[in-house]
Amino acid sequence: MAAGKRKKAWLAAILTLLVPGLGQAYAGRYDRGLVILGVAVFYGFFILQTLTLMETHFLAEGETLLTWTKENFFRVGVNGLRFLASVFLAIALYVWIVLDAYLSAANSRRED
């Protein structure tokens, strides 16, 4: 029985890796899964908007964001810091939602 519990928890974590919130929905927490999916979509648009602002204001014609950042790392400015903070927060949140999906599935098996 312990192997079945572990397999379902891992399946929830893998589903959340593919689509944020899907593992929570698989574990029976539909409301939480829907909120996580909505936040992930909103946050993705936020990061894309920040990248677009950086490209239009800072890059010369034919220059890529990566080459510009290597040369001007300390002159990145507010949008650059916003982008770096957003990426760091996105990674931290993604780890949290995968762990939450795993624990939600593990706890749902204990309640059954």
pLDDT in tens, 72-93: 665 656 666 777 788 898 899 9
What per-residue confidence (pLDDT) applies to 72? 64
pTM: 0.68
What per-residue confidence (pLDDT) applies to 5? 44
Rounded mean pLDDT of 45-74? 69
Residue 95 has pLDDT above 70, yes or no: yes
Domain boundaries, the chain: 2-111
- Give the whole-angstrom CA distance, residue 96 versus residue 39: 13
Cα 34 to Cα 16, 23, 37, 55, distances in angstroms = 12, 11, 5, 32
pLDDT in tens, 11-21: 999 999 999 99
* Nearest residue to 106 via CA among 19, 28, 21, 31: 28
